[in-house]
Chain A
Amino acid sequence: MKNGFKYGGYKGQLLRVNLSKNAVTKEPLREDWARDFVGGAGYSARLLYDEIPGRVDALGPQNKLFFMTGPVNGTMIPAASRSTACAKSPLTGSLFHSIFGGYWGPELKFAGYDGLIVEGKADKPVYLWIDDDQVEIRSAEHLWGKNPFKAQEIIRQEIGDENIRIATIGEAGKNGMPYAIILLDIRAAGRGGMGAVMGSKNLKAIAVRGTGSVSVPNMLRVYNTTLRLNQIAATNPAVKGLSEYGTPRNVLSMNAAGILPTRNWQTEMFKGADGISGETMKEQVVKGHRACFACSINCTKYSVVPSGKYKSIINGPDYETVYGFGSICEVDDIRAICKVDEVCDEYGIDLIQASMSVAWAMECYEKGIFTKKDTGGLDLAWGNADAMIHLTEMIGKREGLGALLAKGTRDAAKIVGKGSERFVISNKGVDGPGHSCRPWPGTAVGYATGPRGGSHHDIRPTLEKSGVVDRTVLEGKGAMASEVNHWLILADSAVVCHLGEPIWGPAKINDNLIDALNAVTGWNLDYEQAHKIAERQWNMIRCFAAREGFTRNDDTLPIRFMEEPVPEGPMKGSLISKETLEGLKDQYYDYRGWDKKTGNPSKAKLAELGLEFAAKDIC
């Protein structure tokens, strides 16, 4: 390729910034790792396994934050704007890759880098200014207390370029809140506390301007692949409605199916669903659409509440926000959800984790574990939108009850006790997204074994939900979950968007994903080779967790999902009992060639995948 790197799609270069030494260096991307781990989450896992020693403090200087693109990013391939922020997570205690869309990742490539490694800790707050090959570490003392949007505005003025792309943290990142986000322009690396890792390094922002391009070996092939994939995106039923209604198109459908999580998952049907639906959102607040780089799906909405107590301007809300602050808290007013979305962005906190914290507190209040004495006088009754917004602000400020909730529900419940552990809807410390698993055993084992805990991006419920796979049968669900893991991790390494699920999945790595990779890189991967790469990536992440001390026992589900059946509606009676889950885990480990006792990859499996070096740490 023009830049001398062997494969197309790559820039062939990583940028490394050591904030302790105030040093900026450039280093070649490893060709062998690019071929074996691709990019994004896969390459990150390999690099960070080497560079982060076992059991370091996630908020200490030994942790590293790695922003990584993939070979497909920055090309014209659709649904491929995404990149990863990866580090040891302060929330889970293991490796976490938080995926984000927008424009920041492609811009980093246009500046000449496949990825950016941030290590050490600056003496004082700083921000990075990456202007093609010129990289500066600048003072951010004047930005340190500013909310992410204000900081972006000031940086744009300072640099005098409206078109730069900026990643920023807010108050939560500054304070090390374990679910702080990184806001990249208007999109977020929202999960796993990557904002806290960035804040722990005294790094407020990373501004990028790139004027280069991404080279591919055969432009006509990439062009034809793009046309074909855009045609799928335009015509596939599973993508329909995302442009029109955004991801909240799901709300009424899920409610009718009895799978709209409600009242902190006490039930899965919400009487107020009409008030928070995609249809209502479109009618009341949506003013426009936002698309990520080169994406034809166009799922993000731009919403405005022009006046009143919920006055707000946001990019969203997405389904997860509507679920978390809507049905989960039994709030039926889309305008209140817009307001609380704005609050979360201003403090720089994960919307899902914050909403689940509020819901957990509401349930503690319902059950008498909390009284107004504990809540600072707030009436945390279900559906009290104003209290929900106020408590979210308290989380952002770490005030009163908010300081407890800022720890995450798992740790908050450990402190409070009194049975509040039963109200925690969390896997490995990460609170659950708005997709049920009580009716779907394959999804359940996917949640339980997922490296990121409660993530609907380590498993997808699509196959069982749609009936492609029979949800009533347990046999084969370990294999199903594994193969869904594989297309997801390969997608997270290319890096392409999971909302393009019908393009890239949904049952296993499909020809479109392989074709996109081959077209931009010049590879000639077949299914078996692509599968082996994905399996290697998944095992690499598991090795990191095992080295941190994670075992089979950490692969579990929230108590509620194992002990409380869905009480009403079409899914009434659905439950994944502890016994069922353990059987599913056995299936999963067997299929993967993992030790059923420990849940770790076996020596033989590591050797098969070229990961022998990890055996000394985990076997």
Chain B
Amino acid sequence: MATVKVKGFSVVRDVFGAGVVELEVGPPETVKAALAALLAKFGDPLKKVLVEPDTGEITPLLLVLNGEAISSTLDVDRSVKTGDELTLIFPIGGG
């Protein structure tokens, strides 16, 4: 079991109720497991802002793991450990 800090912004932060939340990630302690644990913890309100209704999957995201940019699609098997910080970079459009 790893305890990971997760950061989010705008509507993700609104669901978290805080800028940073602590998350318990069970084995296998990976990015994929962390995202699944996050959805389990925050339920439908988070699914509404992160999950694509068509696919039922989390929309592809840029993530920052301990200061390193990684991808929610290409790097899901990266391991996480206690003390790690995972930041969700919300899908970004222009304007």
Q: Which residues of A contact B (CB under 8 A)?
A: 235-242, 244-250, 252-254, 256-258, 277-279, 299, 318-320, 433-435, 439, 456-457, 460-462, 465-468, 470, 498-499, 501-502, 569-571
> Which residues from A are CB-within-8-Å of B67?
569-570
Given contacts A279-B13, A466-B61, A466-B62, contact A250 B92 (CB under 8 A): yes
Find chain B residues with CB under 8 A from A460 CB: 94
Check B69 against A238 for contact (C-beta < 8 Å).
no
Query: A237 near B10 (CB under 8 angstroms)?
Result: no
The contact sample of 27 A-B pairs, CB cut-off 8 A, is A235-B48, A236-B52, A238-B91, A244-B14, A250-B95, A253-B89, A256-B64, A257-B62, A257-B69, A257-B87, A320-B94, A457-B94, A461-B92, A462-B91, A462-B92, A465-B62, A465-B92, A466-B59, A466-B61, A466-B73, A467-B60, A467-B73, A467-B74, A468-B73, A470-B71, A502-B91, A570-B68
How many angstroms between the C-alpha atoms of A378 and B32 in the bound complex? 52
With an 8 A cutoff between CB atoms, is B93 at the interface? yes
Whose C-beta in chain B lies nearest to the C-beta of A457? B94
How many chain B residues touch the partner (CB < 8 A)? 35
Additional A-B contact list (8), CB under 8 Å, known A238-B93, A570-B67: A253-B9, A253-B89, A320-B94, A462-B92, A466-B60, A467-B72, A468-B60, A470-B71
CA distance A470 to B69 in the complex (A): 12
B64 / chain A contacts, CB cutoff of 8 Å = 256-258, 570
| CB within 8 Å: A-B pair count | 124
Cβ-defined contact, B89 with A256, below 8 A: yes
Specify which chain A residues have a CB less than 8 angstroms from the CB of B51 in the assembled complex: 237
Complex Cα–Cα for A161 and B10 (A)? 40
Could you tell me the distance in whole angstroms from the C-beta of A581 to the nearest C-beta in chain B?
21
Q: CA A501 – CA B59 in complex, angstroms?
A: 13
Q: How far is the CA of A468 from the CA of B91 in the complex (A)?
A: 11
Shortest beta-carbon distance from A139 to chain B in Å: 38
- B residues apposed to A, CB below 8 Å: 7, 9-11, 13-14, 48-53, 59-62, 64, 67-75, 87-95
CB contacts (< 8 Å) of A318 on chain B: these are 95
**Which residues of chain A are near B87, meaning CB under 8 Å?**
256-257
Give every chain B residue within 8 A of A433 (Cβ-Cβ).
Answer: 94
Q: Chain A contacts of B9 at CB under 8 A? A: 249, 252-253, 256, 277, 279
Please tell me which one of the listed residues B68, B73, B94 contacts residue A499 in the complex, with CB atoms under 8 A apart.
Answer: B94
User: For the complex, what is the distance from the CA of A245 to the CA of B8, rounded to whole Å?
Assistant: 14
Bound-state CA distance A502–B60 (Å) is 12
Expressed in whole angstroms, the Cα–Cα distance for A258 and B92 within the complex equals: 13
Measured CB to CB, the closest approach of chain B to A78, in angstroms, equals 15
The answer on a CB contact under 8 Å between A257 and B89 is yes
How far apart are the CA atoms of A433 and B95 in the complex, in Å? 9
User: Which B residues touch A245, using CB under 8 A?
Assistant: 10-11
CA distance A319 to B61 in the complex (A): 20
Q: Which of B10, B71, B87 has the most CB of A within 10 A?
A: B10
Min CB distance A251 to B, Å, is: 8
Cα–Cα, bound, A236→B7 (Å): 21
In the complex, what distance in Å separates the CA atom of A460 from the CA atom of B10? 21
State in angstroms the CA–CA spacing of A434 and B95 once bound together.
9
Distance in Å: Cβ of A427 to nearest Cβ of chain B: 16
Smallest CB-CB separation from B73: which chain A residue? Answer: A467
Contacts of A502 in B (CB 8 A): 91
The listed residue with most A CB atoms (<10 A of its CB), out of B52, B59, B74, B89, is B89
